Every structure is written in structure tokens, then in C-alpha cells.
Amino acid sequence: MKALVYLGPEKKALQERPKPTIGASTDAIVRITKTTICGTDLHILKGDVPSCEPGRILGHEGVGVIDQVGPAVTAFKPADRVLISCISACGKCIYCRKLMYSHCTTGGWILGNRIDGTQAEFVRIPYADTSLYPIPEGADEEALVMLSDILPTGFECGVLNGKVQPGSTVVIVGAGPIGLAALLTAQFFSPAEIIMLDLDDNRLEVATRFGATAAINSTDGKAVEKIMKMTGGRGVDTAIEAVGIPQTFELCEKLLAPGGHLANIGVHGTKVELHLESLWDRNITITTRLVDTVSTPMLLSTLQAHKIDPKRLITHRFKLDRVHDAYETFAHAANTRALKVIIEA
């Protein structure tokens, strides 16, 4: 089969690999129909994720069709159409019992990280019964790819951890795909204001179309001043960090009102300063999280009810044999205006 393989920092190749086989009774083999690229894949290629070793097939998102199942799989059978969760969950360990599937002792974020992933024609899915979801009849597969990772990540790590409430003021720093996913799902809770910050006017224009009440280009370094003016000098109730660099995290620290919540989504590869000298008395909460995908069933229902349209995040489409072009497009979004790309296997 064809598969995109990580060969070390800044190196990848489309290679012929053996089709995966059932390795445990709880496994399923899925024929990939559609997958995508995540910002985390770019972090891997930069060398920021040491747990992903050279030789690994990349990717942790996608939809497909069951090809084979192990003898212990009871919820799925060959030919079933399935949504692949980016998180593999045994459902039995101490963390799964706490609904912290991302920290499953034998699973978690392993696809395209510790085991071969979805940017291939076939993928082995551990714990298939608890790591796959049936695709409802008539559902749009492209939209469902956004539910593998990006929608639950924006919702759980940003919106839920950030305690977005009706009438609250929210700022989302970073109008990339994850920030936009947080924007779409924050609207479930009817905040009074959702302010988007970014350096890219095109992405800010998209954010406005997606429901942001204000969009600020922070290139001039005056974002704090502008938002304080907008909020009467108070700051925001929720600041969602959706970039993953020190400057944006520290910006979120400066934007919080007393009692505010700073919800980190970004993948950070370098240290960040925590300014307790100015935060110690402000009753703030800072949260970190790796997506647990506990919200996926709810998001599936919301999608089916046409209450959310994640397909709006898709800007480009490629075949698997053009996966290098897909990466170039996704990695240079400022020039290509890419948000999410779909790769058809």
C-alpha cells in the first residue's frame, strides 16, 4: 500500500508499505477513504515530537471502511463505514475510567505517533470498539473528517476548559483551523463576544464569516490595548491559545479579566514564561489538555442536526499520490489560504 512516512526532521516520503494486519483481538483494519493533515503533523516534521520515530506512517484523522476485525471486536464488521478517532482508548484503564482517553495507559494519541497512522491506504486501529464511530447513513464524509480531531480539540481543550458561558467575552488567539474550530463550537454557549486575533487578514475575514464578533490583526503589537478598550479596561473572561508559541501564550496572560480562564490548545515546543508577578492575585485559571474525544458523539449528533458545518473549514483537496503537494499547501497557508486539506486515499 502507499503511505506517507516520517523519515526524521524535515524529511518525509510516499512509500510502498505492507498492508497492516490484525495484531490483537481488539484490532480492526480500516481502508482509508479520506484523511487530512494536522498542525501536529507539522510539529512532528519539525522534530518537536520525539515520541514519533523515523519510519512512522503519519496521520491520526480520517474516515474509512472496515476491512477486517479481530475476534474480540463486537461493534463493527467488515464493510462498515467508520469515523476514526485521533485518540485510541482501551476503555478499561484508570484514565479511561475517568474519561481521560488521551492518557489511556496503552492508547491515547498513538496513531501517527507511536504506531502507524492514517495517511495511507490502510491503517490498523487498536481497541476498535472504543476508538471508532459508525458513520450515519447519508453523512458527509468530508465533514466527518473534521470530527476525528479538530472539532473535539477546539471544543474540549478550548471551549469547555475555557468555561465559555452565555454573555461572556472570549478571545481566541490564532485563527488557524484549531482556532476556527473553537470559534464554531464556542457559539454553542452564546457568548456575547468572540474576538479573533491573528496576523493573517484572510484568516480573520474567514473568522468573521464563521461568527466572530470582532477580528483584530495583531501585527502592530497593540492587541492588548485594543481589547482592553473594547472591554472597558476589564479584559476577557476566556482567552483560548490556539497557536503554540511563547508570544501568544503570554499575550493571553495579558488579556484576562479577573476570574478569567486561559485555555491552552497549542502544542508548545519551547518554554513559556508564566508571569505570576502580575497574575497571582487575579483569580485566574490556566488549563492544559490533550483532546480526549469524549465530545465526539455529541458533535456527531450536532452535525447530523445541521447545527454546525465543519466542512466550511476545508479549502483544498488532493489524492494520496499528491500528498507532498497537500503538505506544501497546508504548511504555507499564508500564501495558499489553506485551512484544512482533504486527502483521498
Same domain, 124 and 170: no
255 domain-assigned? yes
* Separation between Cα atoms, residue 68 and residue 272, nearest integer Å: 45
242 domain-assigned? yes
* Residue range 99-109, pLDDT digits in tens: 999 999 999 99
Q: What pLDDT shows up at residue 59?
A: 98
* Residue range 181-212, pLDDT digits in tens: 999 999 999 999 999 999 999 999 999 999 99
Contact 48, 40 (CB under 8 A): no
* Separation between Cα atoms, residue 222 and residue 237, nearest integer Å: 19
Is the predicted pLDDT of residue 339 greater than 90, yes or no? yes
Q: What pLDDT shows up at residue 281?
A: 96
How many percent of the chain have pLDDT more than 90?
A: 97
Same domain, 251 and 317: no
**Which residue in this structure is represented by grid cell 467488515?**
78
Instruction: Identify the domain boundary among 272, 287, 302.
Output: 287
Contact 261, 235 (CB under 8 A): no
At 144, which amino acid appears? L
Spatial strand order in the sheet of 256-264: 214-217, 193-198, 169-173, 236-241, 256-264, 285-287
302 domain-assigned? no
Same domain, 52 and 113: yes
At 278, which CATH number? 3.40.50.720
In 10 A of CB 13, how many CB atoms?
11
Is the predicted pLDDT of residue 48 greater than 90, yes or no? no
* Separation between Cα atoms, residue 239 and residue 256, nearest integer Å: 7
Q: What pLDDT shows up at residue 7?
A: 97
Q: What is the mean pLDDT of the segment spanning 158-178?
A: 98
234 domain-assigned? yes
Q: What pLDDT shows up at residue 300?
A: 96
Q: What is the mean pLDDT of the segment spanning 139-164?
A: 97
Domain that holds residue 35: 2-148+310-344
Is the predicted pLDDT of residue 215 greater than 90, yes or no? yes
Place 26 in a pLDDT band, splitting at 50, 70 and 90.
very high
Same domain, 205 and 220: yes
Task: Determine the angle formed by the axes of helices 323-331 and 39-46, rounding to 10 degrees.
Answer: 90
In which region does residue 306 sit, left (phi positive, over 0), alpha (psi from -120 to 50) or beta (all else)?
A: left
Number of structural domains in the chain: 2
Q: What is the mean pLDDT of the segment spanning 18-35?
A: 98
At 19, which CATH number? 3.90.180.10
Beta strands in the chain (DSSP E): 2-8, 11-16, 28-36, 62-69, 81-84, 122-125, 132-134, 169-173, 193-198, 214-217, 236-241, 256-264, 285-287, 314-319, 340-344
Contact 159, 185 (CB under 8 A): yes
294 domain-assigned? no
Maximum alpha-carbon separation in the chain: 62
Cα–chain-centroid distance for residue 209? Answer: 20
Place 18 in a pLDDT band, splitting at 50, 70 and 90.
very high
pTM for this entry? 0.96
Same domain, 279 and 332: no
216 domain-assigned? yes
Round the average pLDDT of the chain to a whole number and report it.
97
* Separation between Cα atoms, residue 145 and residue 143, nearest integer Å: 5
Q: What pLDDT shows up at residue 269?
A: 82
